[in-house]
Chains A and B, each alone.
Chain A
């Protein structure tokens, strides 16, 4: 196969082998990634003037700006996604620290695998679990009543905080794994040295641990943000009709209203936001896209 190019046998055969190897990759990338996204861009920039007659238009993007519901939803989705990313980092960090630094031997690998297990199960199942826990007739409101904290069961679904909690839950794995591998590579003797030199817990964390773990933190945060922004299931099920999540707007335009032009424009805006944040995150931490993806 392509080893021929490496070993260096007859050139025409090597060319043929290369083409054969390239073909599936090109069919995949051109047919399923590049052309569909071009089509999406074209759709988002056209307006129907007569049956099967279209002209170039920025109308869809103007609608996005003129209609407060749309850009509110957009900003809200971005805001909650950032908040969810920060919360995920704060919640995952101590657990990752425990696994990487405090647990020993077998306990460490067992805990690590325990972290992975819930994420082998479909997001649908996990969300079902949260719905059973949180709905008015569910487990947690009942426990609160039994403990005498609330007089009657309260509805814990359909709040922004519920959406946030659900998103954090769904994202934890993608933060814990890169954090653990970043923290494992931190030499304990550096921490001991800092301690001997009079460092306190806080200053060691800030000056030694966080700078060392920065690549892992960045990789985890980028992946979590991206997945949160594009999530559909968790916000719509845990947030109900008030979820106002941007992917839901895309679905509504595309599938419910069959307004593909508008849906395509929304899709493009989401794609631009997602790409911009990923790019910014990489720039700020001076990393390469390929490395981050391979690590996560």
Chain B
């Protein structure tokens, strides 16, 4: 069972083989996606017909590569814009929440901190429909009272940002609060004693200390937003983010251009992961 106990050769090989099989299971779908992005065929399926870059660079001659596929490239742009908003909002509100949970004292704090975790156990589809329904009620209300048509409350990117933010901020809050909890308050007191103003202390002592958690929370928020599907599906309007676009195309049929954009995504997330893992962000999620 453990190295210090006698283990039969058989059991050692069995668990070794199992772990190999486990990792093959984990990686096979990704490898397959990557490989068929380069297959010289109109359909991502065996057999192998030779290497091509058509699915990235192609344009015109029957094959539309990733970079010539307008709607697909636009959807990547949409995802980046949505993710940027969600990240900004989540890190900002998450930081405020962390100070609220770790520093402030007020009645109902325990209930509030529990409520902050609630979005993590609400299925994403339900977050989506409830925000959709509520926004539509608000839009109706505004229309009835002031006769205003508020597009911002109709399915579209603002609602997608709101929907994703509603649970991503829970994760950002947990990440930042965990680091703030371990902060040594005497550092702040020392700065006060040396005559620093409140803003100066926050800016030069507390926030620099929180930096790794802020970076970690930002990276996780960006990734969560970029990959979100369930909530987005319910709130999306006429300009779909990448996950929704890919889903639509996958239902219609397969084209290796999806493999190409997937490979692009894999490389991008691997880069984000590397940045995160190389930093000493202990406890900053992941």
Interface residues of A (CB under 8 A from B): 1-7, 18, 21-22, 24-25, 28-29, 32-37, 39-40, 43, 91, 94-95, 97-98, 101-102, 104, 111, 113-118, 120-133, 135, 137-139, 142, 169, 172, 188, 191-192, 195, 201, 204-205, 226, 229-233, 237, 247, 250-251, 254-255, 260, 263-264, 267, 270-271, 274-275, 278, 289-290, 293-294
> B246 at interface (Cβ–Cβ under 8 A)?
yes
Type the 1/0 row for B1-37, where 1 means its CB is closer than 8 Å to any CB of A.
1111100000000010011001101111111110010
Nearest first, the 5 closest Cβ-Cβ pairs linking A and B are: A129-B29, A230-B123, A36-B130, A36-B134, A2-B104
Sample of 13 more A-B contacts, CB < 8 Å, known A137-B46, A230-B125, A267-B126:
A5-B103, A22-B104, A40-B130, A43-B133, A111-B19, A124-B229, A124-B246, A124-B262, A142-B47, A226-B121, A231-B230, A260-B133, A294-B178
> A263 contacts B26, CB within 8 Å?
no
Neighbouring A residues of B250 by C-beta, 8 Å: 124, 127-128, 131, 237
> A132 contacts B254, CB within 8 Å?
yes
> A5 contacts B99, CB within 8 Å?
no
Neighbouring B residues of A5 by C-beta, 8 Å: 103-105
Least distance between B161 CB and chain A CB atoms (Å): 11
Residue of B43, B103, B227, B269 contacting most chain A CB atoms (<10 Å): B103
Given contacts A132-B44, A251-B125, whether A123 and B166 have CB atoms under 8 Å apart is no
Residue of A nearest to B230 (CB): A232
> B202 at interface (Cβ–Cβ under 8 A)?
yes
Of the candidates A118, A201, A233, A274, the one whose C-beta lies within 8 Å of that of B27 is A118
> A128 contacts B259, CB within 8 Å?
yes
Type the 1/0 row for B90-127, where 1 means its CB is closer than 8 Å to any CB of A.
00110011011001111000001111111111111111
Neighbouring B residues of A263 by C-beta, 8 Å: 129
Residue of A25, A115, A289 contacting most chain B CB atoms (<10 Å): A25
**Stretch of B65-73, B210-218, B270-278 at the chain-chain interface:** B270-278
> B3 contacts A264, CB within 8 Å?
no
Neighbouring A residues of B28 by C-beta, 8 Å: 129, 133
Neighbouring A residues of B93 by C-beta, 8 Å: 24-25, 28
Of the candidates A22, A114, A267, A289, the one whose C-beta lies within 8 Å of that of B23 is A114
Neighbouring A residues of B234 by C-beta, 8 Å: 251, 254-255
> B114 contacts A250, CB within 8 Å?
no
Main secondary structure of the interface of B (DSSP, over half): helix
> A33 contacts B43, CB within 8 Å?
no
Neighbouring B residues of A169 by C-beta, 8 Å: 25-26, 29
> B131 at interface (Cβ–Cβ under 8 A)?
yes
> A116 contacts B286, CB within 8 Å?
yes
Neighbouring A residues of B120 by C-beta, 8 Å: 293
Measured CA separation A37–B92 after assembly (Å): 24
Given contacts A25-B116, A132-B32, A233-B229, whether A250 and B133 have CB atoms under 8 Å apart is no
> B251 at interface (Cβ–Cβ under 8 A)?
yes
Neighbouring B residues of A97 by C-beta, 8 Å: 15
Measured CA separation A114–B270 after assembly (Å): 11
Q: Mark out the residues of chain B between 113 and 156 whose CB falls within 8 Å of any chain A CB in the assembled complex.
A: 113-127, 129-134, 137
Least distance between A25 CB and chain B CB atoms (Å): 5
Measured CA separation A120–B3 after assembly (Å): 32
Given contacts A25-B112, A124-B243, A290-B114, whether A1 and B103 have CB atoms under 8 Å apart is yes
> A102 contacts B133, CB within 8 Å?
no
> B133 contacts A264, CB within 8 Å?
yes
Neighbouring A residues of B2 by C-beta, 8 Å: 101-102, 188, 191-192
Q: 21 A-B pairs, CB-CB below 8 angstroms?
A: A24-B97, A25-B116, A29-B116, A32-B165, A32-B166, A36-B130, A113-B277, A115-B26, A121-B262, A122-B227, A122-B262, A128-B259, A129-B32, A137-B43, A137-B45, A188-B2, A226-B121, A232-B125, A233-B229, A289-B121, A290-B114
Residue of A nearest to B178 (CB): A294
Least distance between B211 CB and chain A CB atoms (Å): 17
> B114 contacts A289, CB within 8 Å?
yes
Measured CA separation A144–B165 after assembly (Å): 45
Measured CA separation A231–B231 after assembly (Å): 11
> A274 contacts B188, CB within 8 Å?
no
Measured CA separation A169–B130 after assembly (Å): 29
> A126 contacts B29, CB within 8 Å?
yes
Given contacts A125-B265, A294-B174, whether A251 and B233 have CB atoms under 8 Å apart is yes
Given contacts A191-B5, A275-B121, whether A94 and B33 have CB atoms under 8 Å apart is no
Least distance between B159 CB and chain A CB atoms (Å): 10
> A254 contacts B124, CB within 8 Å?
no
> B100 contacts A123, CB within 8 Å?
no
Neighbouring B residues of A125 by C-beta, 8 Å: 30, 33, 246, 262, 265-266
Residue of A127, A191, A192, A232 contacting most chain B CB atoms (<10 Å): A232
Measured CA separation A43–B129 after assembly (Å): 11
Neighbouring A residues of B194 by C-beta, 8 Å: none
Least distance between A256 CB and chain B CB atoms (Å): 12
Of the candidates A2, A121, A237, A250, the one whose C-beta lies within 8 Å of that of B99 is A2
Least distance between B89 CB and chain A CB atoms (Å): 9
Neighbouring A residues of B118 by C-beta, 8 Å: 33
Given contacts A6-B103, A113-B277, A118-B30, whether A237 and B251 have CB atoms under 8 Å apart is yes
